[in-house]
Amino acid sequence: MIRLRRLSIPITILLLLTAFPVIQPGFAAQQPTARRPSAILIDVRTGQVLYARDVHKRMAPASTTKMLTAILAIERFPLDTPVTISARAAAQRSGSALGLEAGARWSVGDLLHAMLLRSANDAAVAVAEAYSGSVEAFAKDMNRKAQRIGARNSHFVNPHGLNGQDHYSTAYDLALIARYGLQLPVFASLVRQQAWREFSNTNRFLVKYEGADGVKTGWTAAAGQCLVASATRDGWQLLAVVLHSREMYRDAGQLLDHGFEAFAPLKLAGRGDPLVTLNTNRWRSTLVGVVPSDVVAVVRRGAAVSSQIRLRSDLRPPVAPGAQVGEVIFFAGQAVVARSALIAAPPKIR
């Protein structure tokens, strides 16, 4: 934990702290040099962006689309929920497919395995119809969910990712969707499985990269090679997205190597740590500002970490315990890497 200087000076001086520009958090000063049209690297816990290249460029996402399809199903259905395969789902034989038969009954869990591990397009159609009644209605639900997740530069027209007019996403949006999914235990468990029944996971990154634990491959002629790849080392999980790559496993591996080698997670402050102390003649008590929860960020190895405290301009006694009194902003070099509210701790009476 970083030790911060305790302040014990008149509050009128503290309130003169000036505002300063907020810098985009977490971008790497030095970036990997491998060619990749669109790519991003983020920390899964905080969402910090550690590398970015053309991250908002709209591109065909191919079967990485199935991450969002799975998220919707996982959040609604128990895995043992039965699904009757429709004629439309059975007819979906383009691209990867299991060859589902109309009228057969499959559990949601088995369909999710088929969809995420084998990238089965017919399974994706069956899930979509079970959820919304039709592929078209499900696409609307996908877009609403994407918006709620924050993936606002994406638009989906089907649940599987086969090329479709007006079906697109971005590296940034897919990172948001994958990060959201990895918070769901069922999703996280599914995408790290190397095999299901007699099938191997199409994501060979799981066996090619140390610590790999997800997430989804994709390929079409229009999209090229697409990969959303996660890996965990020493309890620290990073996520890389590469789109329209010629060598997706190499590109994703280089990004993750860069993250693990150049950065490190750091606890900047612990819950309840006193970061500022105010004593004034007008107050019969000492006001202590603390953070309400642990503050963690990913910083470049060797970077100088500092902080700045800003207090509310309308701060006047008495201040109730738990009330927000300001905020603390943490820097690694010149970049803002974290910020947290400061709240009042229970007062210490003189």
Residue numbers annotated as active site: 63, 66, 119
- Residue 157: phi and psi, rounded to 5, are -120, -5
With a CB cutoff of 8 Å and minimum separation 6, the contacts of 219 are 62, 63, 225, 226
- Residue 233: phi and psi, rounded to 5, are -135, 130
Cα angle vertex 68, ends 209, 36, to 5°? 45
Q: Is 318 exposed, middle or buried (0-12, 13-18, 19+ CB in 10 A)?
A: exposed
CA–CA gap between residue 341 and residue 338 (Å, rounded): 11
Q: How many CA atoms lie within 13 A of 246 on its CB side?
A: 4
- Residue 59: phi and psi, rounded to 5, are -140, 160
**First CA to last CA across the chain, in angstroms?**
29
- Please report which helix (H) or strand (E) contains residue 214, including its range: strand 212-220
Q: What is the dihedral of CA 202, 243, 145, 190, to 10 degrees?
A: 20
CA–CA gap between residue 203 and residue 242 (Å, rounded): 14
